[in-house]
Amino acid sequence: MNIHKEGRKILLALTSFLLIANLAVYHYVGDPIASQSTIVISAILFLLVLQFFRNPQVISVQNENHILAPADGKVVVIEEVVEEEYFKSKKTQVSIFMSPINVHVNRNPVSGIVSYLRYHPGKYLVAWHPKSSTQNERTTVVVKMKNDLEVMFRQIAGAVARRIKFYVNEGDTVEQGHEFGFIKFGSRVDVLLPGNFEIKVKIGDSTTGGKTILAEIID
């Protein structure tokens, strides 16, 4: 299992803490049942955190007419919104909610050049709250494709996830399906679709980052 770089220090610190806790229970409590219980609880906790930071290899099939899911999770929103930050016009938004058991690597839905990037501090409403897209801590990324269409996607922090990481800058060339960021401990990603398109998912569908086709651009 590949472990994401964002989790290595956390797992090391957790291992040290659990080791000290188990030694303390063994030496100072001296109860075999308590020691065994502590070992079991420690193993479960470690495995839960370990699976959260897993980073499986994903091979994306790149297609300039496809907009891929940027994250593993479940489609929770498909609706028309008025995007006020950059486009200042109506767009169709597809939102993917990532639970703590999902892989939390975020991947570029399209290839192109990063034409806009902003980090916004904000609130920590639950990720499925309608206002989380505009009021929560978030990053906004816009990628301009070869056909001059622009796709916006947002990493949005939730009530638990308060660690948004992004690895791109304005002017960078990005490739569809490649990693652009990571959100620790669950949240959501919004994608705002460009031009004419056909939605390929429905609310409740599960997605795989870099693989699931959210929409197909129609010429």
Closest C-alpha to 36, from 22, 24, 20, 57 = 22
- SS3 of 144-212: ECCCCCEEEEEEECCCCCCCEEECCCCCCEECCCCEEEEECCCEEEEEEECCCEEECCCCCCEECCCCC
- CA distances to 106, 107, 108, 117, 152 from 167, in Å: 10, 11, 11, 11, 16
User: Catalytic residue positions?
Assistant: 187
